[in-house]
Chain A
Amino acid sequence: MLYKINKDVIFREEMGDLLMLSPKTKKLLIFNKNVANSIDYNNNTIDYNNDEIINVLKREGII
């Protein structure tokens, strides 16, 4: 599934990890390279199918 990332989210990929700051809780979330590889930085989208991860991203207001 393709999801749009909230425009206020600060995120970047570093050392193989994906770092995202939750706009709701301001927690720094760190995901592994599988999630990092699913990001389209040009369009600010994430194409990922793991329900557990997607639920976290929704809960934290990232998508």
Chain B
Amino acid sequence: MKNNYISAPINVTMKFTNACNLRCLHCHSKSGESKLNMSKETAFNIIKQLRENKVFGINISGGEPLLYPYFFDVVEYMNKLGIRVTVSTNAVLITDEIAKRMVENQIKGVQVSLDGCNEEIHDKIRNVKGCFKKTLNGIELLKKYNIPIMLVTVISNQTVEEYSNIIDFAYKIGAKAHKTNAMLPIGNAKENMNLVEDKFLSKYIEIWKQKRNKYSGKMEIKGEMGFLMQVGLEYYHSKKNPNILNVGCPAGITTCAILENGDIVPCSFCVDTVCGNLKKNNFKDIWDNSEIFKKIRERNFDVCNKCEYNKYCGGCRVRALYKGNLYGEDSYCWKLK
């Protein structure tokens, strides 16, 4: 499918550190077990390459990005090069000084993870006592400096009762958006949690749709692609969208992720599928020539390749891999339910 190849990603997720102050039961990258940091020199080299290839945005993820010793060095450098910068954080470490520096460095948005509206549920899933209160404090500081906040909730059987409340809470605290992430069977989640059962999933989807109507025009109700692929095609495909926004799963097509060791993977959740390493090859070489990227862009996946919506969807590769084959079917897709 030649149409699915573009010269470079639109956005890239960069993980500069695997260190983390929390021990989330569903962490896809098992963050916190090691404390590997990308060197400043490597980080700058990669950012420079992304700019040369006209990548528009970088989302700094982790691990906890604020534990990276060169966090503001890389943010300043990205800004200097004109790149749009966003950050995914648990917000626990945000101080007044950090929030102020985020504004000064034009960070355009912060994604904050929240799995419950009370400390009992949130702290249990995040696996560190007291982190709920610290996260709320961080959110208040982001609000103080008018930094756009998107609250992110990973759906799991543990939070089904809280899910509706969290979205209302996001509106109450002035979040610009709330995003729902599917719980993907990788990292800690593979060991600690069961995938959401169908009877609960349908409840989540029902609530998500209700909130989407309720907050229309007030707060954006979003879904990460893996979740939207469980909801229905109309929620991630529109004929009104430009072609480039109608590819469904963006992994290896409009996005990819770079890990703290220099590995390039198709998306930030597909952490075990290494397409190349930036310490050995340059970015453009890997983007153009990785066999994994090429095969993903062909969209010749089991079951999907017979689907009329393949071009606009492609299924979730992380879930396919969970069933044993990266290029296999995504059995959690809305159409197979």
Chain A interface residues (CB < 8 Å from chain B): 8-12, 14-17, 19, 21, 23, 26, 28, 30, 32
Q: Does more than half of chain B's interface fall in helix, strand or loop, or is it mixed?
A: loop
Q: List 12 A-B contacts (CB under 8 A).
A: A10-B54, A10-B56, A10-B82, A12-B7, A12-B8, A15-B243, A15-B244, A19-B10, A19-B56, A26-B108, A28-B84, A30-B242
Do B57 and A28 touch (CB < 8 A)? yes
Q: B3 contacts which chain A residues (CB < 8 A)?
A: 15
Q: B84 contacts which chain A residues (CB < 8 A)?
A: 21, 26, 28
Do B82 and A8 touch (CB < 8 A)? yes
Query: Which single residue of chain B is at the shortest CB-CB distance from A6?
Result: B82
B6 adjacent to chain A (CB < 8 Å): yes
Q: B51 contacts which chain A residues (CB < 8 A)?
A: 10
Do A30 and B7 touch (CB < 8 A)? no
List 4 additional contacts besides A10-B51, A19-B10; criterion CB under 8 Å: A12-B7, A14-B244, A21-B57, A26-B106
B196 adjacent to chain A (CB < 8 Å): no
Q: A9 contacts which chain B residues (CB < 8 A)?
A: 82
Do A23 and B82 touch (CB < 8 A)? yes
Q: A19 contacts which chain B residues (CB < 8 A)?
A: 10, 56, 244
Q: Complex formed: what's the CA distance from A44 to B108 in Å? A: 26
Do B54 and A30 touch (CB < 8 A)? no
Q: A11 contacts which chain B residues (CB < 8 A)?
A: 54
4 smallest beta-carbon distances between A and B, as pairs? A26-B84, A14-B6, A15-B243, A17-B242
Query: Which single residue of chain A is at the shortest CB-CB distance from B82?
Result: A8
Q: Complex formed: what's the CA distance from A21 to B8 in Å? A: 14
Do A17 and B244 touch (CB < 8 A)? yes
Do B54 and A12 touch (CB < 8 A)? yes
**How far, in Å, is B178 (CB) from chain A's closest CB?**
21
Q: Which residues of B1-32 are within 8 A (CB) of A?
A: 3, 6-8, 10
Q: B108 contacts which chain A residues (CB < 8 A)?
A: 26
Per-position binary interface string of chain B over residues 135-163, scored 1 when its CB falls under 8 Å from any chain A CB and 0 otherwise: 00000000000000000000000000000
With A9-B82, A21-B82, A23-B82 given, is the CB distance from A28 to B56 under 8 Å?
yes
Q: Which residues of B51-74 are within 8 A (CB) of A?
A: 51, 54-57
Q: B57 contacts which chain A residues (CB < 8 A)?
A: 21, 26, 28
B245 adjacent to chain A (CB < 8 Å): yes
